[in-house]
Chains A and B, each alone.
Chain A
Amino acid sequence: MSGSNPEHAGWFTGLDPGDVEAAATAISEGETGEPQNWPEQAVQSGFAGDEDEYYSVLHEATRRATREAVTERERADDQQLTHAVSAMDDAERTANELAERLAEWAGSLERDVPTGIEGARAVASWSPETPVQERVVSLAERVVDLDAERADLRSFVESHAPEVAPNLAAMAGPVLAARLIALAGGLESLAKKPAGTVQVLGAEDALFAHLRGHASSPKHGVIFTHEYVRGTPTENRGSAARAFAGKLAIAARIDHYSGAYKQSVHDDLDDRMATIRSREAGE
Chain B
Amino acid sequence: MSPSLPDGVERRSFDGRERLATRGEPVYGEPQDDDGWRPWDAGRSKLGAMLELGLDLGLDGGERVLYLGAAAGTTVSHVADFAGPTYAVEFAPRPARDLLDVAASRENLFPLLKDARKPETYAHVVESGLDCIVQDVATRGQGTVALRNNRFLAPDGRLLAAIKARSEDVLSDPADVFPDVLADLRTEYEILDTQRLDRYHDDHLAVVATPK
Interface residues of A (CB under 8 A from B): 5, 9-11, 26-28, 30-39, 55-56, 58-59, 62-63, 65-67, 69-70, 73-74, 208, 211
Contact = CB atoms under 8 A, between A and B. Distances in A.
B151 A66 contact: no
Interface residues of B, number: 30
A27 B125 contact: yes
A157 B141 CA distance: 37
Contacts of B120: 31-33
B113 A70 contact: yes
B179 to A, nearest CB: 21
| Interface pairs A-B: 3 shortest CB-CB | A35-B128, A73-B93, A32-B124
Q: Is the interface of A mostly helix, strand, loop or mixed?
A: helix
A63 B97 CA distance: 10
B5 interface: no
A9 B93 CA distance: 27
Contacts of B112: 27, 62, 65-66
A33 B126 CA distance: 11
Contacts of A33: 120, 123
* SS class, residues of chain B in contact with chain A: mixed
29 contacts: A11-B124, A28-B113, A32-B120, A32-B123, A34-B128, A35-B123, A35-B126, A35-B151, A37-B127, A37-B128, A38-B124, A38-B125, A38-B126, A39-B85, A39-B127, A55-B85, A55-B108, A56-B107, A59-B107, A62-B103, A62-B110, A66-B96, A69-B93, A70-B97, A70-B113, A73-B113, A74-B93, A74-B94, A211-B170
A244 B129 CA distance: 53
A174 B186 CA distance: 50
Nearest to B97: A70
A56 B107 CA distance: 7
B132 to A, nearest CB: 14
Nearest to B98: A70
A208 B111 CA distance: 34
Interface in B29-85: 85
B168 to A, nearest CB: 14
A11 B125 contact: yes
Contacts of A58: 110, 125
Contact of B97 (A11, A39, A74): A74
Nearest to A75: B93
B192 interface: no
Contacts of B124: 5, 9-11, 26-27, 30-32, 35, 38
A70 B96 CA distance: 7
Nearest to B149: A35
